[in-house]
Amino acid sequence: MIAWARQHVRSGAAALRGLGRSPLALALNVIAVGIALALPLGGYLVLENVGRLAEHGGAKPQLSVYFALDAGEADIERVRAALSHSAAVTGVRFVARADALRAMQRSPEMGEIVAALKTNPLPDVLIADLVAGDPAMAEALVADLTARPKVARVQFDAEWARRLDAILRLGRVALAILAGLLAAGLVTVTFNAVRVQILTQRDEIELAKLVGATDAFVRRPFLYQGTALGALGGLLATALVLGSAALLNAEVARLARAYGSEFGLQGLPLDEWIALVAFSGILGLSGAYASVSRHLHRLAPE
């Protein structure tokens, strides 16, 4: 076990020495990888904040249940209970018809009109806040409520919710395609970077093979190089996205305040940043493994 760990430490040190021989090439490769990863990561961060804005910032989908004028408390409570137990509903509030009439009486534009009324024409209303991003569940709830007794009308802007959900889904699919293409690009960058290192150390590898070095022993330093290159690119992508978000956040907050909101860009959880760096390291490892496996048999001594 100690010998195995010692071999890996030596391989890691050899990998660092190999990367340090050409710092300019290393920097350029890390920049290329970092920018490639920053594009889908930034898009993912934007989509997450757009979804959060839709859910918490004034664009929250709502459903309004209008009752018949002769509806009793029992009828209202049955509908309230159905809303409270629905997975599509995050909150319910009741607006009594008397309260709605008093609110209209306080309005300068409607006060005189309301004073001329002999009876209250306004219905009792239940207003439910819905979960964003699931219009199908909301439409099923509308159909159920519409069929209940003493429910005169159920109002829900299904088209708005459907459009928002379609936009977010389209963004996620486009982002997944972009991430796949750029991940392939990351593997290619690592493949070529490790290929250059293999060609640079051709004589050393041939000598090591002559004295009995196994393919695993020869391959190990290059795998460390590919992993390090990918992880460094992931760290750079993280720094780029965090820096860009910090620069944009002040302007986003200023725009939100103009609309009476306190919205601001939020970053991703720490575990997602760690997962990004780990994933980029795995991509780098994959590119290095493909490169060294392709070239190793060509470098074998005759």
Three-class SS of residue 92? Answer: strand
For the chain, the distance separating the N- and C-terminal CA atoms, rounded to the nearest angstrom, is 33
C-alpha 81/C-alpha 76 separation (Å) is 9
Three-class SS of residue 68? Answer: coil
The model's pTM is: 0.61
What string of pLDDT tens digits covers the 302 residues of the chain? 565 455 545 555 555 555 556 677 778 888 888 888 888 888 888 887 777 666 555 456 788 899 988 888 888 898 998 888 888 888 888 988 888 777 777 776 666 666 666 777 788 898 888 876 667 788 888 888 888 888 988 888 666 667 777 777 888 888 888 888 888 888 888 888 777 777 776 766 667 666 666 666 767 778 888 888 888 888 999 999 888 888 888 777 777 676 666 666 777 788 888 888 888 889 888 888 888 777 766 655 44
Using the CB atoms, write b or e for 233-252: b if 16+ within 10 Å.
Answer: bbbbbbebbbeebeeeeeee
Half-sphere exposure of 148 (CA within 13 A, CB side): 24
Using the CB atoms, write b or e for 259-289: b if 16+ within 10 Å.
Answer: eeeebebebbeeeebeebbebbbbbbbbbbb
**Residue ranges of the chain that CATH labels 3.30.70.3040:** 62-156
Q: Are 105 and 114 in contact (CB under 8 A)?
A: yes
Say what the alpha-carbon torsion angle 161, 165, 167, 172 is, to the nearest 10 degrees. 170
Fold for the domain defined by 62-156? Alpha-Beta Plaits (3.30.70)
Query: Is the Cα dihedral 168, 169, 170, 172 positive or negative?
Result: positive
CA angle 47, 48, 49 (to 5 degrees): 90
Q: Are 225 and 288 in contact (CB under 8 A)?
A: yes
